[in-house]
Chains A and B, each alone.
Chain A
Amino acid sequence: MLTLLLVLPLATPAVLALAPPNLSPRTIASASAFILFVYSLWLLLQFNLTDPGFQFQEYLSWLPVIGLSYSLGLDGLSMPLVVLTALITWVAILCTHEDQPRSRFYYSLIFLSTAGMIGALAAQNLLLFFLFYELEIIPFFFLISIWGTGNHQYAAFKFLLYTAVSGVLILIAFFGVAWTGQGSNFDFSVVDVAHLGWRAKLILLTLVLVGFGIKIPIIPVHTWQPDVYVAASPPVAMLLGGVLAKLGTYGLVRFGLQLFPETWHLVGPGIAIIGSVSVIYGSMSAIAQKDIKRMVAYSSIGHMGYIVVAAAAGTPLSTLGAVAQMIAHGLILALLFHLVGIVEAKAGTRDLDKLNGLMNPVRGLPFTSALLVLAGMASAGIPGLVGFAAELLVFQGSFPIFPIPTIICILSSGLTAVYFVILINRTCFGRLDNQLAYYPKVTWGDRIPAVVLMVLIFALGLQPNWLLRWTETTTTAMVASLQPTNASFSLATVPELSEPLASPPSPF
């Protein structure tokens, strides 16, 4: 079952390469991505909400001599993220223009990166996870360096270096976990850190934190992110921010919180501080930006900080909120990058000092501007939109453990409104410039991806249970083991469940 999630994106490049020239690569790619998304939705509907462990498991002994096995499974943490990955991939392809140069190569790279992300989320073996984690570096490097804009070569190499270092640190941590345990077996069901001393656990956890922290990114290892997000084309930026960054937070929860529960308790305050600093830093930097794409990039740093604070708190509510925020942020960020991309494509600039009056109904971009307002509201956590539900869970769950970092996050939520009001006021309102305002029309091909995302943002905002029900059982079980004891724990352990927080699963 899960293998199909990998086969489809891995096979699509071959189909693209062999397809006849009269068949549009975009059509093939969007059809394949849509099938992948629908399949992931089907898996979601088959998902057992009461089982906190891994489901749809597949196992094949691959290279037992080095402890690498082909072991896949999804739980409440990874299942929604897989669906998000498939969705964002499909939407990113829809956002790509028909006349994209070297389109077959472009779509092939997108599918390879998607395969890497899904594989990492589904992997049940540390080495397999690392393999997939590193797999998507190469496609993204090419996507940024070939189809990026501005200083894209520099950004691509920066991305490569940072994420390579991230991979190295994670690999060292994984080796440490496996080799200090039961031989060289990297399976989730086997890896165990309970026997290690607290110093060893702290060192390994630090490696995990820094490694995944680079990916998220958090302060102070964030400097690659704004350059890369800005240089990447809008569809690639959607994938980077909407999905790839979630691999970082996924790793933080899976290999930090879940694998090192006792040590997590020790480092939690530090992580919360770093998370809240990221939140404030991201918001303040976003306020200072003149480039709207860079503003959105910095806002992403801020919003990822919420996830870090929530994960640091480690309560059932906050962990649930962390996962909810991953999904919410993925949807909202993808929408923001798409809309900013439309503005840049039509108006020819991303400069706040030059953009003006885009809300004009005749000569402006009124539909795009309206969606930009809604996306800004979603990002700021306005009730009724998915951002509010996720942030509320984060704040409510984190406050009892880390009140001050949580208050900082809440204040920063207000700052989000500040920079989005700046963005919308400067770009959407005011007068159109008579010298510049001869913008081409926005077509329905540009609008449909945005509408898809906005419908989901509204739907999940009005009915957040549709977002939370898949995750709650797993996160509750995950944090139940977050006790400062020496109890043995592995990634596959299922401790006693506590009472669910949200209402029982209801029919779709």
Chain B
Amino acid sequence: MQPLIPRSFAVTTATLPKTQLPPSTHPFAEILYRLEAGGAMLPDSPENLKQIIGIYKAYAVPMDFYWRDLLYIAERVFLNPLPFFKYFLPQEYLDLPNHYAGEGADLRVWRGEASAHPELLEFMALGETGKKLPRLFHHLWHDRVNMEFAEACMQAMLWHQNMGGRFNDYMETDEYRANADRAIKAYFKNNPFMLGLYKLFPEMFMEQVKQMSYYSNLGLFWEVMAPVFFEMSDRYDEGTLTSVPEAMQFLVNGIFAVAGRPIYHHVYIGGECYEIIPKSQGFTWLYEAALPYVEAVFYRTAPFRGTKSYNAQAKQVPDRQEDFHYGILYADVFPVGSAGIPPTLLMQDMLHFLPPYLVEYYKNYCRGEDDMLIQLGISFQRSMYCVTSAVIQALRQALFYPLDDPDPRHLAINRQFFEQQLDRFKRPEARILNIQTPDYR
């Protein structure tokens, strides 16, 4: 199976002609020019590359758990009213082959294995303590992958509206309701109490099913992203990924390669598969999963408890969901260290899987090992600006014109698109200017 991205493929600034457009008056003009030259919002430097690749790898290992458990919850746990063990991933799902890794992959993005990553398995067995204790002990000690972060991302996607795509609208259709109804009745077939509750409060159960559909959506999204990040890390280790624009372009190519991957929701009840959202609906990875995920998690999210003291009556939180600005691209990593909220849960997960070169790097700055959580949180922020750049470039490529288009009118349209995207970072909370300097750690 050929690797997804040929090693020789790269769009570098050297191959693009000089812009024919006049200088931009946008406050982020320098970043704009970088985007027009095929680069990312994150400046290209060896330090930036080391940080983002290292953090992609540290992110991909827990992500390997997240997507498996998300699918397990969506497909098997489903509407269990007391899902105490939903984070106890069964072996079946640990062995579930990733469709984009391993020998039998549909499209082999990562040259590694299809089952759960060995580092993940080792962590699940020994935890942070390094001791082989019963899983329940690790769980109660919170020495585990913080699945709550994944659920928070899912909830953000569920709650935010008007993010494009048809996935959300489909869940209001009669077809979806009929599919859900069948699944609910099958799930609670021998439970008259729950069936009675469903008769009394059908919308409550529908809402739960919608939530499960988003579990599946996010699980299928991250099933793709994990091998992408693993492959980028391997290429960096091999020395074949040498710049931030190359990393970004790898992501762009990955987006296009997997854009058409179906997004669906199947539930397995009593050995039978119930298609709540069938593949035939034609929901695709790019428009129904990736773009809503980026919008909900990178841009919008919601204020996390304890990080913002706000008075809704004083309009300190925007009235419109579209104006929410609490995602990673706007996050202030400093005060949330060890706060126990979703970003810090992810930071703790990534801390467990940092590559050695990144650990050594962090030891040389700020407080070394003592504030590694913050340092890696900021590296993660940089890396997500790189991912967002890839999404922006992919959208530009899909909807507008090539970067080397000879027609200045087309280039002007591209510029207009980039400026509209950059306008979202004009608010003071955005970290786009912070990531331009290496001092932001």
Residues of A at the B interface (CB closer than 8 Å) are 357, 360-363, 431-432, 434, 437-438, 440-441
B332 on interface, CB distance cutoff 8 Å: yes
Q: Which residue of A lies closest to B368 (CB)?
A: A441
Q: What is the CA–CA distance of A357 and B338 in the complex, to the nearest angstrom?
A: 14
Is the pair A431, B335 in contact by a Cβ cutoff of 8 Å?
Answer: yes
- Chain B 143-174 interface 0/1 with A at a Cβ cutoff of 8 Å (1 = within): 00000000000000000000000000000000
B346 on interface, CB distance cutoff 8 Å: no
Residues of B within 8 A of A361 (CB): 337-338
Is the pair B366, A438 in contact by a Cβ cutoff of 8 Å?
Answer: yes
Residues of A within 8 A of B338 (CB): 361-362
Q: What is the CA–CA distance of A441 and B366 in the complex, to the nearest angstrom?
A: 9
The answer, among A432, A440, A441, for a CB contact under 8 Å with B334, is A432
Q: From residue A431, how far is it (CB to closest CB) to chain B in Å?
A: 5
**Of B334, B366, B367, most A-chain CB atoms within 10 Å:** B334
B440 on interface, CB distance cutoff 8 Å: yes
B374 on interface, CB distance cutoff 8 Å: yes
B272 on interface, CB distance cutoff 8 Å: no
Is the pair B335, A441 in contact by a Cβ cutoff of 8 Å?
Answer: no
Q: What is the CA–CA distance of A101 and B263 in the complex, to the nearest angstrom?
A: 69
Residues of A within 8 A of B335 (CB): 357, 360, 431-432
Is the pair B370, A357 in contact by a Cβ cutoff of 8 Å?
Answer: no
Residues of A within 8 A of B275 (CB): none
B434 on interface, CB distance cutoff 8 Å: yes
Q: From residue B383, how far is it (CB to closest CB) to chain A in Å?
A: 18
The answer, among A434, A438, A441, for a CB contact under 8 Å with B332, is A434
Q: From residue A289, how far is it (CB to closest CB) to chain B in Å?
A: 25
Residues of B at the A interface (CB closer than 8 Å) are 332, 334-335, 337-338, 366-367, 370-371, 373-374, 434, 440-441
The answer, among B334, B366, B367, B373, for a CB contact under 8 Å with A434, is B334
Q: What is the CA–CA distance of A350 and B370 in the complex, to the nearest angstrom?
A: 25
Q: What is the CA–CA distance of A238 and B357 in the complex, to the nearest angstrom?
A: 46
Q: What is the CA–CA distance of A22 and B370 in the complex, to the nearest angstrom?
A: 33
Is the pair B373, A362 in contact by a Cβ cutoff of 8 Å?
Answer: yes
The answer, among A362, A434, A438, A441, for a CB contact under 8 Å with B337, is A362
Residues of B within 8 A of A432 (CB): 334-335
Is the pair A362, B434 in contact by a Cβ cutoff of 8 Å?
Answer: no
The answer to whether residues A363 and B374 also contact, given A434-B434, A434-B440, A438-B366 and a CB cut-off of 8 A, is yes
Residues of B within 8 A of A434 (CB): 332, 334, 434, 440
Residues of B within 8 A of A438 (CB): 366, 441
Q: From residue A444, how far is it (CB to closest CB) to chain B in Å?
A: 13
Q: Which residue of A lies closest to B434 (CB)?
A: A434
Residues of B within 8 A of A357 (CB): 334-335
Residues of B within 8 A of A360 (CB): 334-335, 337
Q: Which residue of A lies closest to B335 (CB)?
A: A431
14 residue pairs of the A-B complex, CB under 8 angstroms, read A362-B337, A362-B338, A362-B371, A362-B374, A363-B334, A363-B366, A363-B367, A363-B374, A432-B335, A434-B332, A437-B334, A438-B441, A441-B367, A441-B370
Q: What is the CA–CA distance of A441 and B338 in the complex, to the nearest angstrom?
A: 17
Q: Chain B interface mostly helix, strand, loop or mixed?
A: loop
Q: What is the CA–CA distance of A506 and B367 in the complex, to the nearest angstrom?
A: 49
Q: What is the CA–CA distance of A434 and B367 in the complex, to the nearest angstrom?
A: 15
Residues of A within 8 A of B366 (CB): 363, 438
Q: Which residue of B lies closest to A356 (CB)?
A: B335
Residues of A within 8 A of B440 (CB): 434
A-B contacts besides A361-B337, A432-B334, A438-B366, 11 pairs, CB < 8 Å: A357-B335, A360-B334, A360-B335, A360-B337, A362-B373, A362-B374, A363-B367, A431-B335, A432-B335, A437-B334, A441-B370
Q: What is the CA–CA distance of A360 and B367 in the complex, to the nearest angstrom?
A: 13
Q: From residue A10, how far is it (CB to closest CB) to chain B in Å?
A: 43
Q: What is the CA–CA distance of A438 and B366 in the complex, to the nearest angstrom?
A: 6
Q: From residue A481, how far is it (CB to closest CB) to chain B in Å?
A: 59
The answer to whether residues A363 and B332 also contact, given A434-B440, A438-B441 and a CB cut-off of 8 A, is no
Is the pair A431, B370 in contact by a Cβ cutoff of 8 Å?
Answer: no
Q: What is the CA–CA distance of A357 and B339 in the complex, to the nearest angstrom?
A: 14
Q: What is the CA–CA distance of A357 and B334 in the complex, to the nearest angstrom?
A: 9
Residues of A within 8 A of B434 (CB): 434
Q: What is the CA–CA distance of A170 and B138 in the complex, to the nearest angstrom?
A: 72
Residues of B within 8 A of A431 (CB): 332, 334-335
Q: From residue B440, how far is it (CB to closest CB) to chain A in Å?
A: 7
Q: What is the CA–CA distance of A469 and B319 in the complex, to the nearest angstrom?
A: 65
Q: What is the CA–CA distance of A440 and B366 in the complex, to the nearest angstrom?
A: 7
Q: Which residue of B lies closest to A440 (CB)?
A: B367
Q: Which residue of A lies closest to B307 (CB)?
A: A431
The answer to whether residues A362 and B370 also contact, given A432-B334, A434-B334, A437-B334 and a CB cut-off of 8 A, is yes
Q: From residue B354, how far is it (CB to closest CB) to chain A in Å?
A: 16
Q: What is the CA–CA distance of A77 and B335 in the complex, to the nearest angstrom?
A: 49
Q: What is the CA–CA distance of A486 and B71 in the complex, to the nearest angstrom?
A: 98
Q: What is the CA–CA distance of A338 and B78 in the complex, to the nearest angstrom?
A: 58
**Which 9 pairs show the lowest CB-CB distances between chains A and B?**
A362-B337, A432-B334, A362-B371, A431-B335, A361-B338, A362-B374, A441-B367, A363-B334, A363-B371
Residues of B within 8 A of A441 (CB): 367, 370
Q: Which residue of B lies closest to A433 (CB)?
A: B334
Q: From residue A427, how far is it (CB to closest CB) to chain B in Å?
A: 14
**Of A357, A363, A431, most B-chain CB atoms within 10 Å:** A363
Q: What is the CA–CA distance of A440 and B368 in the complex, to the nearest angstrom?
A: 10
Q: From residue B20, how far is it (CB to closest CB) to chain A in Å?
A: 38
Q: From residue B107, how far is it (CB to closest CB) to chain A in Å?
A: 41
Q: From residue B341, how far is it (CB to closest CB) to chain A in Å?
A: 14
Is the pair A363, B337 in contact by a Cβ cutoff of 8 Å?
Answer: yes
Q: What is the CA–CA distance of A357 and B440 in the complex, to the nearest angstrom?
A: 17
Q: What is the CA–CA distance of A432 and B373 in the complex, to the nearest angstrom?
A: 15
Residues of A within 8 A of B332 (CB): 431, 434
Q: What is the CA–CA distance of A441 and B334 in the complex, to the nearest angstrom?
A: 15
Q: What is the CA–CA distance of A45 and B369 in the complex, to the nearest angstrom?
A: 47
Q: What is the CA–CA distance of A273 and B172 in the complex, to the nearest angstrom?
A: 78
Q: From residue A485, how far is it (CB to closest CB) to chain B in Å?
A: 64
Q: What is the CA–CA distance of A13 and B89 in the complex, to the nearest angstrom?
A: 70
Q: What is the CA–CA distance of A316 and B248 in the complex, to the nearest angstrom?
A: 80
Q: What is the CA–CA distance of A165 and B62 in the complex, to the nearest angstrom?
A: 73
Q: Which residue of A lies closest to B439 (CB)?
A: A438
Q: From residue B335, how far is it (CB to closest CB) to chain A in Å?
A: 5
Q: What is the CA–CA distance of A437 and B335 in the complex, to the nearest angstrom?
A: 11
Q: What is the CA–CA distance of A189 and B441 in the complex, to the nearest angstrom?
A: 69
Q: Which residue of A lies closest to B441 (CB)?
A: A438
Residues of B within 8 A of A440 (CB): 367
Q: What is the CA–CA distance of A434 and B371 in the complex, to the nearest angstrom?
A: 14
Q: Which residue of B lies closest to A357 (CB)?
A: B335
Q: What is the CA–CA distance of A434 and B374 in the complex, to the nearest angstrom?
A: 11
Q: What is the CA–CA distance of A186 and B380 in the complex, to the nearest angstrom?
A: 76
Residues of A within 8 A of B370 (CB): 362, 441
Q: From residue A1, how far is it (CB to closest CB) to chain B in Å?
A: 48
Q: Which residue of A lies closest to B373 (CB)?
A: A362
Q: Which residue of A lies closest to B370 (CB)?
A: A441
Q: Which residue of A lies closest to B308 (CB)?
A: A431
**Of A357, A360, A362, most B-chain CB atoms within 10 Å:** A362
Q: What is the CA–CA distance of A84 and B319 in the complex, to the nearest angstrom?
A: 60
Q: What is the CA–CA distance of A403 and B43 in the complex, to the nearest angstrom?
A: 70
